[in-house]
Amino acid sequence: MIGPGSTTHLVVRGGTGRHGALPCRVSSFSLRPALPHLLASLALLTVLSWACAGNQGTLPPPDDIQPDGICVGISCHDGQYREEDTGESQLCEALWTATLATAGGTAHLALGKGDVIYAASAQSLYALQKTGNQLWVWPQDDGQSGIASPGELYTPVIGSEGTLYMGTNAESLLAVGKNGIARFLQPLDGNLSGAVAIAEDGYVMAVTDKGAVYHIEDRGTLGAFMSWKMDGEEKLPDFLIGIQPVIGPAAFYGKETLLIPTKTALRAMSVEDGQKLWSRPLPEGFEITSNLMLDENANVLFVAGKGKNVEYYKESRLFQVNVNGELLVPDGYLVWDTYTRVVSLSQGIQGTVLLGTVNAGLFSMTASSGLPNWRYVPKEQNVEQIAQPLQTEDGFVFFSAGRHWVYVVSAVGERVWHQKLEVPEELIGALLWPSSPIALGEGRIVYKNSNQVKAVQCLTSGPATLYWPRFGGNNHNSGNITDKLVPEPTR
């Protein structure tokens, strides 16, 4: 644990990897990170980690990880793990916790103007101030629309005029204004457990759990208008459940393009009229397991698994598809060759990607080369699923994990702070899905896990200026590269 006045001993050591890389070893040294020198120390550790990352030794399987094992330099078969202090870090401070209704499925947070935090939980939508105080709850505080909650609500996405669009498990799309008054409830063919994406003209793009695709115009008091749709017999085959489509901007794709993952292919469609542009099948046997992410060149990144056994895959690889639908690396880059499932993908600093898994921890890789940087495996029991992480300018990585955990790790995968959330007794042991944190600026990060929303402050750094730093590509969850994250703490 890094903290003022503490001494941390770190060993970076490598062996010869599978690809014949030269050994890499840096002797143990003491790090006494008084607060003014912390960032320089973390930067040094990051350089050391990346310097050794070229050694592509096989990562040890989960059973070989000692409690709170951290593997720096990746090739750690010689047992170079370090036990960490279990005390609380002085670098992070918990600010507040808000308790919502009984938790349901995955519902990522969204951040509106004035740092208003929107959180869906069970059949309610909450608007919270940055201090954690409640502004309103829908439908409880909606005395005008006459629209009742149809069922469980999923991730809110902020569109034009601050309207929140979210799917439901009652085969419908719900729109609620920033004032907490519902605008419309639009029936769909299938549940909408994944988030929608917002086109440049404000149209809502939605893909249901039955493979139906919709291009929806919000006409205010007149409700929703379907500009075009693909439902009934036109639905997508081999569809995925709970996915968010992503919009590739016209500056890269020639026309605004809707990118939709199915189990075994990535599809590109025209936002304007739904015309199929191209479809890129995956190598035989692979299935997409993570969310989509765009890089600065609008290449689409995702992880796919092969060799499925129940819900786990024997082999997981990172794939990248360019604007023409071509695989940049035909076989992708190997992430992990022991049974797991990579479920989340975010962009990290210095050209890295952060990958959350079920049962194998959190990975950092270099996107352009596929070289591993580090892997963090929590010691806590029942850490089952890691949601899309968020990295700030100081290199800290924030993520939540099932069940009931929130974490902060350093730029080299060393744990800085963690906490188990207090949940209702009836939810203890239940599989409650974590979600991606949002950044309010000035080092303030807000998590949602189960029915808890929690704010934490670590140092004073704001979010890193990245093209796709978290779920949905930005704090609004819009799924559009043109809405890349810009710190807005004083709106």
**Domain range for residue 29?**
8-72
Q: Is the pLDDT of residue 330 over 80?
A: yes
Do 159 and 50 lie in a common domain?
no
Do 63 and 122 lie in a common domain?
no
CATH number of the domain encompassing residue 411: 2.130.10.10
Distance CA 321, CA 473 (A): 17
Q: pLDDT per residue over 225-283, tens digit each?
A: 999 999 988 999 999 999 999 999 999 999 999 999 999 999 999 999 999 999 999 99
Q: pLDDT per residue over 80-103, tens digit each?
A: 333 344 444 568 889 999 988 876
Do 113 and 233 lie in a common domain?
yes
Q: What is the pLDDT of residue 36?
A: 38
Does residue 77 lie in a domain region? no
Residue 105 DSSP label: S
Other residues' Cβ atoms within 10 Å of the Cβ of residue 41: 16
Domain boundary among 44, 72, 100: 72
Q: Which residue has the higher pLDDT, 52 or 287?
A: 287
Q: What is the pLDDT of residue 68?
A: 42
Do 332 and 367 lie in a common domain?
yes
Q: What is the pLDDT of residue 461?
A: 66
Q: Is the pLDDT of residue 32 over 80?
A: no
Distance CA 158, CA 161 (A): 8
Do 30 and 135 lie in a common domain?
no
DSSP-derived 3-state class of residue 454 = strand
Does residue 279 lie in a domain region? yes
Residue 446, beta-bridge partner list:
438, 455
Q: What is the pLDDT of residue 90?
A: 67
Q: What percent of the chain has pLDDT over 90?
A: 63
Q: pLDDT per residue over 147-205, tens digit each?
A: 999 999 999 999 988 999 999 999 999 999 999 999 999 999 999 999 999 999 999 99
Q: What is the pLDDT of residue 339?
A: 93
Does residue 78 lie in a domain region? no
b/e map 444-460, b = 16+ CB within 10 Å: bbbbbbbbbbbbbebbe
Average pLDDT, the chain: 81
Does residue 432 lie in a domain region? yes
Does residue 108 lie in a domain region? yes
Do 165 and 253 lie in a common domain?
yes
Q: What is the pLDDT of residue 87?
A: 42
b/e map 122-158, b = 16+ CB within 10 Å: bbbbbbbebeeeebbbbbeebeebebebbebbbbbbb
Beta pairing, strands 397-402 & 390-391: antiparallel
pLDDT band (50, 70, 90) for residue 434: confident
Q: What is the pLDDT of residue 16?
A: 27
Flag whether the pTM goes above 0.85: no
* Of 40, 85, 84, 86, nearest in space to 65 by CA: 84
Do 134 and 17 lie in a common domain?
no
Sign of CA dihedral 303, 304, 306, 311: positive
Q: Which residue has the higher pLDDT, 57 or 374?
A: 374
Do 30 and 109 lie in a common domain?
no
Q: Is the pLDDT of residue 76 over 80?
A: no
Distance CA 412, CA 72 (A): 7
Lowest mean pLDDT among 59-63, 242-246, 343-347, 451-455: 59-63
Number of domain units in the chain = 2
Q: What is the pLDDT of residue 403?
A: 75
Do 284 and 427 lie in a common domain?
yes
DSSP-derived 3-state class of residue 41 = helix
Residue 460 DSSP label: S
Residue 190 contacts residue 209 (beta carbons within 8 Å) = yes
Q: pLDDT per residue over 108-134, tens digit each?
A: 999 999 999 999 998 999 999 999 999
Token look-up 């569809």 returns: 239
Q: What is the pLDDT of residue 102?
A: 73
Do 227 and 114 lie in a common domain?
yes
Does residue 97 lie in a domain region? yes
Taking residues 211-237, report their average pLDDT.
93
Q: Is the pLDDT of residue 35 over 80?
A: no
Run of H or E residues at 490: none
Do 433 and 464 lie in a common domain?
yes
Distance CA 243, CA 472 (A): 11
* Of 65, 76, 68, 66, nearest in space to 11 by CA: 76
Q: Is the pLDDT of residue 13 over 50?
A: no
